[in-house]
Amino acid sequence: MGRGLLFADEVGLGKTIEIGMVLKELDLRDTRDSFLVLTPAQLAPQWQQELDDKFGLDFVCNYDDEFQGFDAHDRIVASVDTAKSSRYKEEVLSRRWDALVLDEAHYVRNEDTKRYSLIEQIEYEEAFFATATPIQNDITDLYNITNLIRPGLLGTSTEFEDRYVADGDDTQIKNADALQRKLDRVMIRNRREETDIDFTNRDVRTNTFEPTTAEEELYDTVTNYVRSNYSSEDAKHLVLLLLQKEVVSSPSAVLGTVNKWLDGEGSTTVSNRERDHLHEIKEAASEISDTTKQQRLREIVTTIHDQLDTTRVVVFTQFRETQKEVAESVRKLDQPVHVVNGDCSSTEKEAIVADFEAEGGVLVATDSISEGRNMQFCNVMVNYDLPWNPMKVEQRIGRIDRIGQERDVHVFNLALADTVEEHVLEKLYGKINLFTQSIGGLREILSRMEKSGADFEREVFERVRTADSRVELENNFEEMAVDLEENKEAAEKMSEFNKGVFDSFEFGDDS
- The pLDDT tens digits for 352-393 are 999 999 999 999 999 877 554 668 889 999 999 988 877 788
What is residue 443's predicted lDDT score, i.e. its pLDDT?
A: 60
Which residue in 74, 212, 190 sits closest to 132, CA to CA? 190
CB neighbour burial string for 120-158, b if at least 16 within 10 angstroms, e if fewer: eebebbbbbbbbbbbbbeebbbbbbbbbbbbeeebeeee
* Whole-angstrom distance, CA of residue 6 vs CA of residue 106: 11
Q: In the chain, what are the helix, strand and coil shares in percent, each to the nearest 5?
A: 50, 15, 35
What is residue 511's predicted lDDT score, i.e. its pLDDT?
A: 37
For residues 270 and 262, the answer to whether their CB atoms sit within 8 Å is yes
- Residue spans of the chain under pLDDT 50: 372, 507-511
* Whole-angstrom distance, CA of residue 47 vs CA of residue 54: 11
What is residue 509's predicted lDDT score, i.e. its pLDDT?
A: 45
* Whole-angstrom distance, CA of residue 225 vs CA of residue 218: 11
What is residue 510's predicted lDDT score, i.e. its pLDDT?
A: 42
Taking only Cα atoms into account, the Rg of the chain, rounded to an integer number of angstroms, comes to 25
For residues 144 and 110, the answer to whether their CB atoms sit within 8 Å is yes
What is residue 221's predicted lDDT score, i.e. its pLDDT?
A: 94
Domain architecture of the chain: domains with CATH: 3-194 (3.40.50.10810), 202-209+290-440 (3.40.50.300), 213-286 (no CATH)
* Whole-angstrom distance, CA of residue 252 vs CA of residue 221: 15
Secondary structure element (H or E) that encloses residue 151, with its range: none
Which residue in 300, 257, 305, 265 sits closest to 281, CA to CA? 257
Which residue in 270, 240, 218, 266 sits closest to 457, CA to CA? 240
Query: CB neighbours (10 Å) of residue 83?
Result: 23
